Amino acid sequence: MKYSNHFLLCGNPETGKSLLQNRVTQQIIEVPGSCLECQLDLEWGNLHLLFLSYDCPYEEILWILLLSGQGKIRSKRQLGPASGIAVFSSPRIVSAHTLEFQFDGPCRRRATVSSWLFGMKIRMGLVGRE
């Protein structure tokens, strides 16, 4: 897993959806959110892990998308809406498949991409206090 800048987001706050453009292939898809918080490339499978929000700390929702190289959403997870202030921060790569980050509250969260019989999926978990 490594940080990347392959994607560009054109947000529309009124609809809550945005157009995501792959800078390499020029492919465009519609995704939830209006702020691209973090983007990573996975070292296997030509996959991309994206974190998107609405940039609204008091009612924040965080979307985590796993995209294929062809621009198809393979898996997605949603965190929120938060009951208090929530801001995506402090992303840290833990392994080739796992990213830790802060979102809501004192506990760090962990997103892990794993393979299973019918494809790939994102698993979520809490790590503990910082």
Query: Residue 115: pLDDT band by 50, 70, 90 thresholds?
Result: confident
DSSP annotation of 59 reads G
pLDDT (0 to 100) of residue 101: 93
| Cα distance between residue 16 and residue 57, in whole Å | 15
Per the structure block, which two tokens stand in for 35? 């702020």
Q: What is the pLDDT of residue 13?
A: 64
Q: Where are the domains of the chain?
A: 2-129
CA–CA distance, 97 with 122 (Å, rounded to integer): 10
pLDDT at 116: 65
* Alpha-carbon gap, residue 95 to 54, rounded angstroms: 27
Residue 130 has pLDDT above 60, yes or no: no
